[in-house]
Amino acid sequence: MKPLTVTTTSATYPVVVESGALASLPDRLQALGLRGALWLVCDGAVAELYGAPLAERLRAAGHTVHTFSVPPGDASKSPAQLGELHTWMIAGGIERRDAVLALGGGVVGDLAGFAAATILRGVAVIQLPTTLLSMVDAAVGGKTGINHPLGKNLIGAFHQPRLVLADTDTLASLPPRALREGWAEVIKHGVIRDAELFEDLEHLANERGWSAQSPGGLWDAADAGLTAQLSDLIRRAVAVKVEVVSIDEFERGERITLNYGHTVGHAVEQLSRYGLLHGESVAVGMHAEAGIARLMDMCDGDLAGRQAALIHAYGLETKLPAYDIDAILALAMRDKKVQAKKIRWVLPTAIGSVLVRDDVPEELLRRALQA
C-alpha cells in the first residue's frame, strides 16, 4: 500500500499504516540513508513483545542498537525521565548521524521525540506507534514534549520524524481499554474534517450492533473482515492528520482544529491525576465542546446526539466527572491555544466542519459544563 506523505516547510516524510510494517524497518532505514547507531526507546509494556525482536532484526541487518525502556503511563513525560534519556544517550556516545526510534504509545513518542529534538541540538527520530491513539494522532506531525505540574504538554518542540511506521498488527495485543481510547481521536477526525469517515464509523457500529451496552471497535485478529474494516478507518483517520499537518506545521491556523475536545479534555485528564486516559478525556471534552457549540447556536442538537451515540458505540463515556468547574476553567486558561488571555475553542458546526471561536462567554461555558 502506498504510504501517506507529510509535506511541510521543514520536512517531507512517509507515514506507513499497514499490517506487518515493523518488519520493513531495516529496508526503510537503508532507503533513508540512516546508517548511524540506533537508540531504541520502548514503552515498558511492549519492550519484550516488540522491542526485543525489533532490536534483534535491526542488529541482524548490521545496525548498532541501544535500548532503553520507559515505564508505562503519563508520569514518564517528565523532566526527570527526559534527563535519564539524555544521560543514557550522552554516556553511550550518541552522534548527530544517529537516530532515535520511539516504539510504543504517545507517551514514548512525545518523550523520545523531545529527547531527539534536544540532544546534540537535534538528531533524527523515527516514530513506531503501537497504540491506536499514537497511530492516528501523536506519532504524526512532529509535536514532542513533556508535562509540567501546571499543565499538560507545556514544554516541548516541533521535531518532525523522518518516518512514521504504524504496524496495525500491534493493535491485537492492546488491552481493550487502551484500544477504545484511541477511537476518540478517530471519531474526532471525522467530526472536524471528514464527514464520510464519521458516517462509515456509524455504519460499522450499526452493522455490528455496537452500542453503549455492547461497545465496539475492539480488535479481533480472527475476524479478517473486521480487522480490514478497522484498518481502513484508521488509515483514513491518519490521512486527516497528515493533511492538516501538511497545511499548517506549527499550529498557526488550520492545525488548531485537531485540538477539538482537548481544551476540556486536558483539564479533565489532569484533574483525574491521569487516572483517565487521554482518549477517554478527549471523548468527554468533545461532548462538552459540542454542548458549547449548541448553546452558541453554531449547530443543532442532532450533531451532539450523533457524536455521543458514536462515542458510546466505540466504548467511551461522555459524562463530565464531578470536578469543580472553576478548576476546569483555570486549567483551560493555561491551554496552549490561549491567545491574548482568551481561550480559543474549536467548536463543531456540522459533522466534518468546525470553527475556532474566542468569544464564548464564561456564563455560557459554565452552563455547558454543568449540563
143 classed as catalytic: yes
- What distances in angstroms separate CA 63 from CA 59, 127, 222, one per listed residue? 5, 17, 35
Indicate if 148 belongs to the active site: no
Residues 6+ away with beta carbon under 8 Å from 248:
254, 255, 256
Tell me, what's the pLDDT at 341? 85
Q: Is 262 a catalytic residue?
A: yes
| Domains within the chain, CATH numbers bracketed | 4-173 (3.40.50.1970), 185-370 (1.20.1090.10)
Q: Is 317 a catalytic residue?
A: no
Q: Above pLDDT 70, what percent of the chain?
A: 100
Residue 121 annotated as catalytic: yes
**Cβ(210)–Cβ(314) under 8 Å?**
yes
Question: In angstroms, rounded to a whole number, what is the distance separating the alpha carbons of residues 11 and 125?
Answer: 12
- The pLDDT of residue 153: 87
CB 53 within 8 A of CB 42: no
pLDDT confidence of residue 110: 97
Distance CA 243, CA 263 (A): 22
| The C-alpha cell that represents 289 in the structure block | 465542546
Catalytic option among 236, 255, 287, 344: 255
Q: Which residue ranges of the chain lie beneath pLDDT 50?
A: none
Cβ neighbors of 39 (< 8 A, separation 6 or more) are 66, 68, 88, 89, 92, 94, 98, 99, 100, 101
Nearest Cα to Cα of residue 129 among 260, 238, 281:
238
Annotated active-site residue in 66, 189, 262, 344: 262
Fill in the amino acid letter for 137: D
Examine the residue annotation and report whether 278 is marked as an active-site residue of this protein: yes
**CA 335 to CA 338: how far, in whole Å?**
6
Catalytic residue selected from 259, 269, 312, 344: 259
Name residues whose C-beta falls within 8 Å of residue 56's C-beta, 6 or more positions apart in sequence: none
**Catalytic, out of 181, 202, 249, 251:** 251
Given 66, 278, 294, 336, the catalytic residue: 278
Query: Is 266 noted as a catalytic residue in this protein?
Result: yes
- What mean pLDDT, rounded, does the chain reach? 95
- The catalytic residue among 63, 66, 143, 235 is 143
The whole model's pTM is what?
0.94
Report the pLDDT value the prediction gives residue 234, as an integer from 0 to 100: 98
259 is an active site residue:
yes
Q: Which three cell numbers stand for residue 30?
A: 537503508
